[in-house]
């Protein structure tokens, strides 16, 4: 049984105060770092001369040559010559970054091709060896594994390099437009499209590396078999958990997982195409009240979700009609997803009731490819779905689109992982006087061409994160694999139990019709990046036996202090950290590290996503001009510093109440150990309620019922019923008053 909870508790907002009384919400324990500092602390040695010169471009913005502004601020006006100079430098920086990205991407492609030939050669020698002949040695496989690990680290570093530079370009353009009043953003978008260094798709490389790494890891004997096979199902416990992944961490997470599980490819003989990963679903509901949405949100017993799904592009001929049914634990049944396939040309007739289930499976019965029992089950499912659609007036309301990368051993379903990227929700209804899908079962003005730029903003929601789904099937009492526990406890993922694409899409696309929201909606405006909790990430293999010259040794020794300082500052780009002396490594090993990260006790630096404000620059400019403007700024600066110091002193002097430490639950202890867990509270938007499912066991419900009956039995005298009636009337009146105030009726 589930009960709704009106989640209106508001905790203190965590804000990073900035000049001019501006503030932005950040997570607790998070240090807001200016992007320039973030860029300097995230530099990877191989790319150190190819990053955007962010500080140089900032200096250009501060070097205006025009006359003083008339507003008395002491700033100089931005002239056409200044704009020409800035644009030229910006073009040079874009060319530098684009060239480096292209060269490195081609290098990675060549290295993958070379490794592919070497792996095939070794595997062929293994398979073609005769009796008594020795196959490849273990050392050969270890060298191949080191090469592939090095390529994986290269892909990781390139992805981080691209992401950081892309952010840097748009931040400097935003700063330029705000400081100068000249609008460079539209023109720069055109230049960026001509040199799209940020559009590199790593999925093809990930799939190739996954196949090669699996061959080498299994020493030429990869697991083969049916991907759906999982053995006997009776003695297993299934657990599905969902997580959000920040776009900055998607490539790194894929590279980490492929070292343990291969990418699941259903047609290995076919050349990889981007649309092969596309999955599109059309969800049905009644737009008048959205009963299916509410049932799935509240997790009521028997709540259904009906959808039509296809894989690949719009030319796919096979569509799967699916129904998901929720079952409560007290029923003794399990939630189930059932589906049957249907030709695309027959979907409209089936959904309108013109094509009966018996006619759908008539051909299957004649061919005899499936058993009569299986056909009968599919036919019953088709009849039930068709009846529900026609009886309740279900219509297409929401479409979800995403590209899925699945990781699984072909013959082992104990661990299945899927990562959905570019998740998009699109309206399919015909409400608000607009025809979208019309009488068709899906709208035809779009395909699988993400980001669907042709759609108006009110018709589309682009989800900002990737969705990781981990499905574990273990024996009773068996722990999940250690690497799985490390992944889900790492800074790369944010747990979001029971997240639903259908629920999220419907809640976002119909804001005026949906009043009950899922619990994760307020978290959409919070940065989900977290501090690094343990030594985890992509590592380059240790290169042993490497000889260095005296100059190299001197350079490495000189860089020790810089790298130690970078470790103290923290880089936050996904590479594993070295925790002080406990994980101290020699200088020869530090070169193989992609970057340094903060330790578990340090805060995670997140660059400020808004304007960077340099107070010292404005004060210095005012000092050069002189006059009352300078003295006013100087007094304000000193007063602000004094007030800040006094406030910090008071915080140490005045005692503050502290929360009582509660022991951590056994499940959280097994997942996170003694690591810190952040707790956040949110408030519902005006006129909305956030639904938080609270599971109540049947025995608790019946115990409460027995207690109520026991108390009711005591009111047999003259005063008992009277007092109870008065109390009920008072409670109802107070509830009426408070509810009216809450809804602002009076």
Tell me: the pLDDT tens digits for 22-76?
Answer: 334 444 444 455 777 777 777 888 888 988 898 888 888 888 887 777 766 667 8
How many whole angstroms separate alpha carbon 705 and alpha carbon 701?
6
Q: What is the mean pLDDT of residues 297-304?
A: 87
Confirm if 403 and 229 have CB atoms less than 8 A apart: no
pLDDT value of position 223: 65
For residue 522, the number of C-alpha atoms closer than 13 Å in the C-beta half-sphere is 22
Phi and psi, residue 421, nearest 5°: -115, 165
Question: Looking at residues 585-606, what average pLDDT do you find?
Answer: 34
Q: Are strands 336-343 and 318-325 parallel, antiparallel or unpaired?
A: antiparallel
Residues 6+ away with beta carbon under 8 Å from 435: none
Q: Where are the domains of the chain?
A: 34-213, 226-525
Q: What average pLDDT score do residues 270-289 get? A: 85
Nearest to 118, CA basis, from 85, 150, 95, 141: 141
pLDDT at 595 over 50: no
Euclidean distance between CA atoms 102 and 195, whole angstroms: 10
**Dihedral of CA 483/486/490/496: which sign?**
positive
3-state SS assignment for residue 493:
coil
- In this prediction, residues 110-127 reach a mean pLDDT of 86
Which residues, including other chains, have CB under 8 Å from residue 694's CB and lie 6 or more apart?
Answer: 2, 3, 5
For 524-569, how does the pLDDT look when each residue is reduced to its tens digit (9 = 90+)?
A: 888 888 777 666 777 777 644 333 333 333 333 333 343 333 333 3
**Band (9; pLDDT cuts 50, 70, 90):** very low
Looking at the DSSP bridge assignments, the partners of residue 306 are 284, 323
**Per-residue pLDDT, 395:** 93
- Secondary structure string (H, E, C) spanning 518-539: ECCHHHHHCCCCCCCCCCCCCC
Q: Give pLDDT, residue 388.
A: 93
Dist CA 584 CA 275 (whole Å): 45
| 308, HSE (Cβ side, Cα atoms, 13 Å) | 29
Quick: pLDDT tens for 162-188: 888 888 888 888 888 888 888 888 888
For 153, residues 6+ apart whose C-beta sits below 8 A from its C-beta are 538, 539, 540, 594
CA distance 653 to 651: 6
pLDDT at residue 73, rounded to an integer: 64
Q: Phi and psi of 518, rounded to 5°?
A: -70, 160
pLDDT at 460: 93
Q: How many beta carbons lie within 10 A of that of residue 379, not counting itself?
A: 19
Q: Is 178 a catalytic residue?
A: no
Q: Is 199 left (phi over 0), alpha (psi -120 to 50) or beta?
A: alpha
What is the separation of C-alpha 674 from the centre of its chain, rounded to a whole number of angstroms? 25
Out of 100, 208, 501, 530, the active site residue is: 501
237 falls in which pLDDT band (50, 70, 90)?
low
DSSP string, 355-412: S-HHHHTHHHHHHT-S-HHHHHHHHHHHHHHHHHHHHHT-EEEEEEEEEEEEEEETTE
Look at residue 578 and tell me whether its pLDDT is greater than 70.
no
Select, from the ranges 6-15, 707-716, 731-740, the one with the highest average predicted confidence (pLDDT). Answer: 731-740
Provide the b/e sequence for 197-217 (b: ≥16 CB within 10 Å).
Answer: bbebebbebbbbbbbbbbbbb
Average pLDDT value over all residues in the chain:
75
Strand pairing report for 516-518 and 689-691: parallel
Q: Extract the runs of DSSP E, i.e. beta strands, from 152-277.
A: 236-245
Concatenating the DSSP letter of every residue in 117-173 gives HHHHHHHHHHHH--TT-----HHHHHHHHHHHHHHHHHHHHHHHHHHHHHHHHHHHH
Residue with more model confidence, 701 or 312: 312
Torsion (CA) 123, 126, 127, 130 in degrees, nearest 10: 160
- The answer to whether residues 206 and 263 touch, using CB atoms and an 8 Å cutoff, is yes
On the question of pLDDT at 21 being above 50, the answer is no
Q: What is the pLDDT of residue 225?
A: 56
Q: Is residue 258 scored above 50 in pLDDT?
A: yes
pLDDT at 99: 92
- What CA–CA distance (Å, rounded) separates 670 from 485? 9
Is the pLDDT at 235 greater than 60? The verdict is no
Helix or strand (DSSP H, E) at 413: strand 412-427
| Segment 601-610 mean pLDDT | 37
87: phi then psi, degrees, rounded to nearest 5: -65, -40
> What phi-psi label fits residue 74: left (phi over 0), alpha (psi between -120 and 50 degrees) or beta?
left
Dist CA 297 CA 500 (whole Å): 9
Query: 3-state DSSP: the chain helix, strand, coil percent, rounded to 5?
Result: 45, 15, 40
Instruction: Look at phi and psi of residue 21 and say left if phi exceeds 0, alpha if psi is from -120 to 50, else beta.
Output: left
Identify the CA nearest to 314 among candidates 274, 265, 275, 272. Answer: 275
- Residue 586's pLDDT band (cuts 50, 70, 90): very low
Contact (Cβ atoms closer than 8 angstroms) between residue 541 and residue 582? no
The domain 226-525 having CATH identifier 1.10.287.3510: the answer here is no
The answer to whether the beta carbons of residues 430 and 437 sit under 8 Å apart is: yes
Helix, strand or coil, per DSSP, at residue 459: helix
């Amino acid at each position: 049984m589930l009960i709704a909870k009106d989640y209106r508790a508001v905790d203190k907002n965590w804000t990073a105060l900035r000049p001019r009384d501006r503030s932005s919400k950040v997570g607790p324990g998070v240090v807001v770092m200016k992007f320039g500092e973030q860029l300097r602390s995230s530099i990877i040695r191989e790319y150190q001369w190819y990053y955007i010169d962010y500080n140089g471009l900032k200096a250009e913005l501060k070097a205006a040559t025009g006359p003083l502004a008339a507003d008395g601020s002491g700033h100089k006006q931005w002239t056409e010559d200044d704009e020409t100079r800035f644009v030229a430098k910006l073009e040079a920086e874009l060319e530098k970054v684009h060239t480096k990205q292209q060269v490195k991407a081609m290098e990675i492609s060549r290295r993958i091709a070379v490794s592919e030939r070497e792996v095939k050669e070794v595997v062929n020698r293994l398979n073609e060896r005769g009796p008594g002949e020795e196959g490849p040695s273990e050392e050969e496989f270890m060298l191949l594994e080191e090469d592939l690990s090095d390529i994986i680290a290269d892909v990781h570093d390139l992805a981080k390099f691209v992401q950081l530079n892309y952010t840097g370009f748009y931040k400097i353009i935003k700063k330029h437009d705000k400081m100068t009043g000249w609008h460079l953003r539209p023109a720069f978008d055109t230049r960026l499209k001509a040199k799209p260094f940020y559009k590199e798709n790593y999925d093809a490389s990930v799939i190739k590396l996954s196949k090669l790494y699996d061959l080498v890891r299994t020493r030429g004997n990869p697991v083969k078999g049916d991907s759906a096979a999982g053995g006997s199902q009776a003695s297993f416990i299934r657990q599905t958990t969902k997580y959000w992944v920040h776009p900055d961490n998607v490539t790194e997470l894929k590279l980490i997982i492929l070292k343990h599980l291969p990418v699941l490819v259903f047609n290995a003989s076919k050349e990889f195409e981007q649309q092969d990963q596309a999955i599109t679903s059309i969800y049905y509901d009644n737009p008048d009240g959205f009963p299916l949405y509410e049932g799935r949100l509240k997790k009521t017993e028997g709540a259904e979700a009906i959808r039509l799904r296809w894989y690949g592009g719009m030319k796919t001929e096979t569509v799967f009609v699916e129904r998901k049914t929720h079952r409560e634990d007290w029923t003794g049944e399990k939630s189930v997803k059932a589906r049957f396939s249907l030709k695309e040309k027959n979907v409209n007739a089936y959904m309108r009731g013109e094509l009966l289930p018996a006619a759908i499976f008539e051909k299957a019965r004649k061919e005899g490819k499936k058993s009569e029992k299986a056909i009968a089950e599919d036919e019953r499912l088709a009849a039930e779905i068709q009846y529900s659609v026609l009886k309740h007036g279900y219509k297409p309301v929401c479409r979800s689109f995403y590209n899925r990368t699945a990781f699984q051993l072909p013959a082992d379903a104990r661990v299945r992982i899927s990562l959905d990227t570019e998740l998009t929700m699109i309206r399919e209804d015909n409400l608000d006087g607009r025809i979208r899908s019309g009488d068709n079962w899906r709208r035809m003005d779009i395909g699988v061409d993400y980001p669907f730029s042709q759609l108006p903003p009110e018709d589309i929601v682009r989800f900002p994160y990737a969705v990781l789904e981990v499905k574990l099937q273990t024996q009773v009492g068996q722990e999940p694999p250690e690497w799985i526990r490390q992944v889900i406890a790492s800074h790369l993922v944010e747990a979001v139990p029971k997240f639903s694409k259908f629920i999220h899409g419907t809640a976002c696309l119909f804001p005026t019709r949906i009043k009950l929201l899922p619990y994760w909606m307020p978290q959409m405006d919070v940065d989900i990046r977290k501090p690094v909790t343990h030594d985890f990430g992509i590592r380059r293999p240790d290169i042993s036996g490497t000889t260095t010259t005296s100059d190299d040794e001197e350079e490495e020794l000189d860089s020790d202090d810089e790298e130690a300082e970078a470790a103290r500052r923290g880089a936050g780009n996904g590479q594993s950290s070295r925790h002080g002396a406990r994980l101290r490594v020699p200088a020869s090993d530090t070169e193989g590290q992609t970057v340094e990260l903060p330790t578990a006790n340090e805060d995670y630096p997140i660059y400020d996503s808004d304007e960077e404000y340099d107070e010292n620059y404005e004060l210095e400019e005012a000092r050069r001009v002189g006059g009352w403007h300078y003295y006013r700024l100087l007094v304000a600066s000193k007063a602000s510093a004094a007030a800040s110091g006094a406030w910090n002193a008071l915080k140490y002097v005045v005692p503050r109440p502290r929360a009582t430490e509660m022991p951590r639950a056994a499940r959280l202890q097994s997942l996170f150990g003694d690591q810190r867990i952040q707790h956040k509270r949110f408030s519902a938007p005006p006129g909305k309620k956030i639904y938080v499912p609270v599971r109540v066991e049947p025995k608790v419900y019946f115990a409460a019922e027995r207690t109520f009956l026991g108390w009711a039995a005591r009111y047999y005298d003259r005063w008992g019923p009277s007092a109870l009636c008065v109390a009920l009337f008072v409670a109802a009146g107070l509830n009426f008053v408070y509810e009216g105030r809450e809804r602002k009726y009076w």
